[in-house]
Structure 1
Amino acid sequence: MTRTQVSAVALAFSALFAGQAMAAPQTYVLDPTHSFPRFSYDHMGMSTQILRFNKTTGSVVLDKQAKQARVDVTIDMTSIDTGFEMFDDHIQGADFLDTATYPTATFTSTKVVFEDGKPASIEGDLTIKGITKPVTLAVTSFFNGAHPMLKKDAIGANATTVIKRSEFNAGKFAPGVGDDVTLDIALEAITE
């Protein structure tokens, strides 16, 4: 083998390994100041109520080259924010969220479907009050790029799905108070 051939082989291997390094999955940690799960439901036909949780942790692992991702989120159910402290306490009771027994809810993805290089839907397991059900979140917006202030790689997304609260043993007053609950998750995450 000539010196030129050896150099060409070495260059090919270095390009291969460089490509593999670039394709490595990247881990993003949720920004707790910009990641808020919200939920809404029909209140006796009079209005749609919108509530949120103030404390959420988790991570997103994104492999842009392979078009694969994994999402793990934990919601502090005691951080419910209804806008009215007495109702915060009421909704944490055993008939609804039962936060004394189940202080957290979790979502763990099982599959992320990509379209045009971006996540379009996220399938996974949602656990509330110790009950796990499969759900599919529709991704309504997605961003991946440099964070404008932190200058680190970041992602942002909004995703939504509808669940039945009665399936999670939280169906008190249904159907007068709507059983269908729309989950709307706003998420921002930054590289470690």
Structure 2
Amino acid sequence: MKKALFATLFAVTLASPAFAAPLTYTIDNKHTFPRFSYSHFGFTTQQSRFNHTSGTVVYDAEAKTASVDITIDMKSVDTGSELFNEHIQEADFLDTATYPTATFKSTKVIFDGDTPSRIEGEMTMKGVTRPVTLTVTSFKSMAHPMLKKPAIGANATTTVKRTEFNAGKYAPAVSDEVTITIAIEAIAK
């Protein structure tokens, strides 16, 4: 009887979800693109993106905890125009010669039920660190259909002021407020 009970307890222990503990996910830079949009003299809303992003997400579905650490290669800015890509990297805007990366590090992830809904953290750009809250507009956690590994994906958005990051040339004619959206996919290590 004791052997059967021990065997049952041992089997249950082995069958317990392996993902009950936090998993670390590496950002998939082929499917993760921070985008930014702003009003250009009130004529149009311009949209651009950064092509190279790295970082990690630590996520524990059972405990409903998470953390996010993202680094954006600011030199990978893609406005759709090579000439403007160079222009926007100058000192009055992104100043990529001095500050080649920007970062976002979460300080708190708020869940709504089982789903992350807001990510509070600090964004550092051009040597300036400011609090930023990302609103999560979609979230998915499942096995990646091709890689057969745990994966997560999310879309999130926030609005920042360029002047608060010393990137305010032409503000307010070219809007000070910039909407940042990020589509992120990450695969478990």
TM-score, structure 1 normalization: 0.91
Match in the other structure for 2:146: 149
TM-aligned CA distance change 1:161 to 1:190, over 3 Å:
same
TM-aligned CA distance change 1:95 to 1:122, over 3 Å:
same
Q: Is the 8 A contact 2:19 2:60 kept in 1?
A: no
Aligned residues: 189
In structure 1, stretches of 5+ residues that fail to align are none
Match in the other structure for 1:176: 173
Shift of 1:19: 5.2
Could you tell me which amino acid in structure 2 is paired with residue 154 of structure 1? A
Percent identity between the two aligned chains: 61
Could you tell me which amino acid in structure 2 is paired with residue 79 of structure 1? S
TM-score, structure 2 normalization: 0.93
Match in the other structure for 2:117: 120
Shift of 1:150: 1.6
Shift of 1:20: 8.5
Secondary structure of the 1:66 match is coil
Q: Is the 8 A contact 2:35 2:50 kept in 1?
A: yes
- The runs of at least 4 consecutive aligned structure 1 residues that moved more than 2 Å come to 6-22
Match in the other structure for 1:109: 106
Q: Deviations over 1:56-94 (max 9, x none)?
A: 001101011100001000000000000000100000000
Match in the other structure for 1:33: 30
How far, CA to CA, are the matches of 1:22 and 1:71 in structure 2? 18
TM-aligned CA distance change 1:88 to 1:124, over 3 Å:
same
CA-based RMSD of the aligned residues comes to 2.0
TM-aligned CA distance change 1:109 to 1:43, over 3 Å:
same
How far, CA to CA, are the matches of 1:107 and 1:113 in structure 2? 16
Shift of 1:22: 4.3
How far, CA to CA, are the matches of 1:18 and 1:71 in structure 2? 29
How far, CA to CA, are the matches of 1:129 and 1:122 in structure 2? 22
Match in the other structure for 1:191: 188
In structure 2, stretches of 5+ residues that fail to align are none
